[in-house]
Amino acid sequence: MNMKLISGNVCAPQGFKAGGIHCGIRRNKTKKDLGLIVSENRANTACTYTLNRIKASPLKITKNHVSDGYAQAIIVNSGNANSCNIDGDEKAIAMARLAAKTLNISPQDVIVASTGVIGEILPIKPIEDSLPALNDMLNDTDGMDAAYAIMTTDTRPKEIAVEFVIDNKVCRMGAIAKGSGMIHPNMGTMFGFITTDTAINTSMLAKALKETVDDTFNMISIDGDTSTNDMVCLLANGKAGNKIIDNTGENYDIFVNALRYISEYLSKEIARDGEGASKLIICNAINSSSIADAKKIAKSIITSSLFKAAMFGADANWGRIFCAAGYSGADFDPDKVDISLSSKSGSVDVCKNGLGLKFDEEQAKNILLEDEITVVINLNEGKYNATAWGCDLTYDYVKINGDYRT
């Protein structure tokens, strides 16, 4: 495979720097709440956004700013979503303007992102006062401060970087992400910020991102709630010096392979870090008659609260899996369905041709006590497969969200 993991994140590609700081939006002074990611030059840019009809002001402003296919910086805050506020657009525009002034670039080239509580007025003065210090802290070797700055209920930062070769030029791609609750992307609250020094034009960049997001980030579900603030942004500044990718072919495939690897890794990390979660749940819907039906089934199962609760309790209640497939809206023959459960402790078949099998309950429980569980639902109708990622539903999820705002 023409790709290898390397250390780092958004600063791994040439020409990018990043940083994060506590500016005062969050009450806890030990938590960073303002981040910047900056390219040395204007970068070809593609973004995907939440499909929630209610879109936060930063998304609306960002969509306008990247309509020309370019961006040079991302300013992001945590602790306040700047969503559903009377002055939300004004504050998002101000964030872009302040970042642009600090960085000496055009406000039109600034992506704005916010995450946190919906419906609370975003204070702009802490951001304005802290930007000079944040600018001084930017570096091109370590983007971890930015990774921490975007976290809300996340228990750990999410980062990755890879290296690959195109036209004998070493290219790099790095990313940070956040997401723990309100995750059911249809681009929950979820951010993915991806940087690369690969030379690729905007149309190919947008094509690659959309295809990848559809199969990765959009196949996560923590709780079935799609946020007003979700976005994934991909910036390509061309510093690697490869011949620009302007059509499909081998070089495009190499690029997409790297993007898919990064996106799948981050998707799994987001699912693994779901609010209160104790287990990563992977659902493979295989041998479907269409990719659309496979996706519907996999995501329906991973979203089912009853199924997620059963996984928390290590209860091999396979009927909840079958039920979720049945109401997914997918077209399949229930009489052909096989279901199995597996983990590093083994595998057990629980359903064959739509009917329950006798199985060892103790063995099944031991399988489901592990921290990573795989469900395979075989439709036995075609050649199309899809994977979705989620987590179990625990008591702690209710505790975290019972007083999230207060």
* Domain shared by 250 and 312, yes or no: no
Q: Which tokens hold the place of 405? A: 């705002």
* Domain shared by 210 and 294, yes or no: no
User: Of 215, 246, 272, which one is at a domain's C-terminal end?
Assistant: 272
* Domain shared by 254 and 349, yes or no: no
pTM of the predicted model, to two decimals?
Answer: 0.89
pLDDT tens-digit profile of 84-97?
899 999 999 999 99
Q: Which tokens hold the place of 230? A: 């979700």
User: Of 241, 272, 303, which one is at a domain's C-terminal end?
Assistant: 272
70-80 vs 110-117, strand pairing mode: parallel
- Which residues in 57-216 belong to E strands, given as ranges? 70-80, 110-117, 158-166, 169-178, 191-196
Q: What are phi and psi of 110, to 5 degrees?
A: -110, 125
Beta carbons of 341 and 357 less than 8 angstroms apart: no
* Domain shared by 298 and 327, yes or no: yes
* Domain shared by 70 and 123, yes or no: yes
Q: What number of residues does the chain have? A: 406
SS3 (DSSP) at 400: helix
Q: How far is CA 47 from CA 59, 202, 315, in A?
A: 10, 11, 40
Number of neighbouring beta carbons within 10 Å of residue 315: 15
CATH number at residue 110: 3.60.70.12
- Which residues in 87-190 belong to E strands, given as ranges? 110-117, 158-166, 169-178
Task: Kindly tell me the burial class for residue 28, based on how many C-beta atoms sit within 10 Å of its own C-beta (0-12, 13-18, 19 or more).
Answer: exposed
Beta carbons of 338 and 380 less than 8 angstroms apart: yes
SS3 (DSSP) at 241: coil
* Domain boundaries, position 381: 280-402
In sequence order, the 6+-apart residues with CB closer than 8 A to the CB of 219 are 267, 295, 298, 299, 302, 386, 387, 388, 389
* Domain shared by 119 and 46, yes or no: yes
* Domain shared by 200 and 318, yes or no: no
* Domain shared by 265 and 291, yes or no: no
Distance separating alpha carbons of residues 399 and 275, to the nearest angstrom = 10
Distance separating alpha carbons of residues 389 and 274, to the nearest angstrom = 11
Domain count of the fold of the chain: 2
User: Of 252, 272, 292, which one is at a domain's C-terminal end?
Assistant: 272
Return the pLDDT at 272.
87
* Domain shared by 392 and 249, yes or no: no
* Domain shared by 285 and 258, yes or no: no
Distance separating alpha carbons of residues 114 and 134, to the nearest angstrom = 17
Q: How far is CA 288 from CA 56, 160, 307, 377, in A?
A: 36, 32, 21, 10
pLDDT tens-digit profile of 299-346?
999 999 999 999 999 999 999 999 999 999 999 999 999 999 999 999
Beta carbons of 234 and 209 less than 8 angstroms apart: yes
34-49 vs 16-21, strand pairing mode: antiparallel
Give the residue carrying structure tokens 């525009």.
Answer: 93
The residues annotated with a catalytic role in the active site are 189
% helix, strand, coil for the chain, step of 5: 35, 30, 35
Q: Which residues of the chain have pLDDT under 70?
A: 1, 180-189, 222-228, 400-401, 403-406
Distance separating alpha carbons of residues 242 and 104, to the nearest angstrom = 28
